[in-house]
Structures are given as structure tokens and as C-alpha cells.
Amino acid sequence: MIRETISESDTADVGRALAPRLSAGDVILLYGDLGAGKTAFVRGLAEGLGVAGEEVSSPTFTIVQEYRGGRLTLFHADLYRLDDPREIDDLGLDELTADGVLAIEWAEKMPRPAAAAVVVRITHGDGDVRTVSLTMPQAQQ
């Protein structure tokens, strides 16, 4: 699926629409430049899972944030500040998915991306325009 968005809330809508299709154990890999709208997408995803969107912020400095209270727990990771693949392995991201959904910003830094993950690529267009490309694993299509 490819969708063009024209605002942050429009980008969040794409995440919100994905949420009902997710189950515990699902992983969302987010790709996009700085300021592309990855966190806005995750904010919408959280709202779609029943978590208040205003609770969601970029976990750039905490690396992983956890949001409970919705249909599924949402784990939100941001790998931007990590450069060593061993640091990423030490986070234990694989273990988080048993309890909920894991959304990973800057997924290109992962040494071994999850094979059966939802892949979200957000690219800048003119002004506030973004192109959001969403690829579901075969099992979920």
C-alpha cells in the first residue's frame, strides 16, 4: 500500500489504520529520514491500539518506550543514536514482541531485521507532503 499524506495527523492516520490488523508478536520496521514522520506514524499506531497519542514521543534518548493500556502493549524503539550492532542486540528487542507490538524507528541500523515484519517507508515530498509505503508480511496480507 502506498499513500500520500499532507500533514502529521494524516501520517498518523496511516498508523491508526494499521493497528486493527496487528497481533501480539508483530514488528513494524520504520525507515525514513530525520523528520519524515516516523514518530507521527507510531503516535497513530498507538491511538489505533487504544493508547493516548499524546503519551507517545520519540524515544531517541531512552531508546525504548513502553505504552500499556490499549488492546496490545506497544513497544517503541528508536535506534538513531546506536552505531554498534552489539548495542542493538543488547536491547533484547526480540523478547519484547511476545507481550505486544514492537515499532522500530531507524530499522536500517538493525544487524538482522525481523523477516516477517511490517515495513513502513516514509519519504519527504514538497512541503508537508509525505509518501508512506507499507508492506505487510505474506501471512498478514
Residue with cell 516477517: 116
Which of the pair, 57 or 118, is modelled with greater confidence? 118
- How far, in Å, CA of 89 to CA of 84, rounded? 9
- How far, in Å, CA of 130 to CA of 3, rounded? 8
- How far, in Å, CA of 91 to CA of 64, rounded? 8
Most confident of 11-25, 51-65, 85-99, 124-138: 11-25
- Cell numbers at 128, concatenated: 508537508
**Tell me, what's the pLDDT at 60?**
63
Q: What is the pTM of this model?
A: 0.89
SS (H, E, C) the chain: CEEEECCHHHHHHHHHHHHHHCCCCCEEEEECCCCCCHHHHHHHHHHHHCCCHHHCCCCCCCCEEEECCCCCEEEEEECCCCCCHHHHHHCCHHHHHHHEEEEEECHHHCCCCCCCCEEEEEEECCCCCEEEEEECCHHHC
Q: What is the pLDDT of residues 107-116, one digit of tens each?
A: 998 887 777 8
Q: What is the pLDDT of residues 41-68, one digit of tens each?
A: 999 999 999 998 777 877 666 788 999 9
- How far, in Å, CA of 45 to CA of 50, rounded? 9
- Cell numbers at 86, concatenated: 552489539
